[in-house]
Structure 1
Amino acid sequence: MAGTEGRHGPVEPRAGLWARVGDRLIVGGATVGDEGRDGEIIGLHHMDGTPPYDVRWSDTGRVTLVFPGPDARVHHYPSNGTKASAQAP
C-alpha cells in the first residue's frame, strides 16, 4: 500500500490502531441505536501513535485520557483538512 500525505507529514499504512494529533477518534455507542461519540486527538502518550490518547470530545468539550476499545476507529486527515481514511481496529 502507498502512503498518503498527512497533517504532520507522510502517513504510512500500519496495522492496528494508531493516530496523530489532529485526527478524530470515533467510538461506537453502548447500545443499538446509540450513535456514540467523537473527539479530536489532542495528545499522544507514545511516539508511534498507539493508544492511549488525550481526546477533546465534541459533545462536551472536555479532555479525557482514552484507552480505545474494539468499537473505536480513527479518521486520519490529510494536510488540506479533508478526510483521508477511516481505520477500524
Structure 2
Amino acid sequence: MKASVGDRLVIESLHLDGPRRVGIITALYHGDGSPPYFVRWLDEEHETLIFPGTDAHVEHRAEHGAQV
C-alpha cells in the first residue's frame, strides 16, 4: 500500500452493513508512501497515526478529485 498526502484512507467495516471509516492522509511517516499514516478522520475531530490492515485501502487524490 502506497499513499500521498491528500489521499483518502478507507477502512471497511468488519460487520455486514457496518459503517466504513474515511479519513484524509495529512502526513506520511515514511517518504516512500508506505504505512503508517497520519490520518484526519472525517467523522471525528481528531487525527491519529494508523497502521492500516487488510480491511483498508487508499483512494488516491486523483481518483476522488477532492481538495484538501
TM-score w.r.t. length of structure 2: 0.87
The aligned runs of 1:38-77 (5 Å cut-off) are 38-77=22-61
Equivalent residues, number? 65
Segments of 4+ moved more than 6 angstroms: none
Question: Is 1:22 aligned with 2:15?
Answer: no
Percent of matched pairs sharing the same residue: 45
Flag structure 1 segments of 5+ consecutive residues without an equivalent: 1-16, 84-89
Bigger radius of gyration among the two? 1
Flag structure 2 segments of 5+ consecutive residues without an equivalent: none
Q: Deviations over 1:20-55 (max 9, x none)?
A: 000000001131111211000001000100000000
Between the two structures, name the one with larger relative contact order (CA 8 Å, sep ≥ 6): 2
Q: Which has the higher helix share?
A: 2
The residue identity in structure 2 corresponding to 1:45 is Y
Instruction: Let me know the Cα RMSD of the aligned residues.
Output: 1.4
For 2:48 and 2:61, how far apart are their aligned partners in 1? 21
TM-score w.r.t. length of structure 1: 0.68
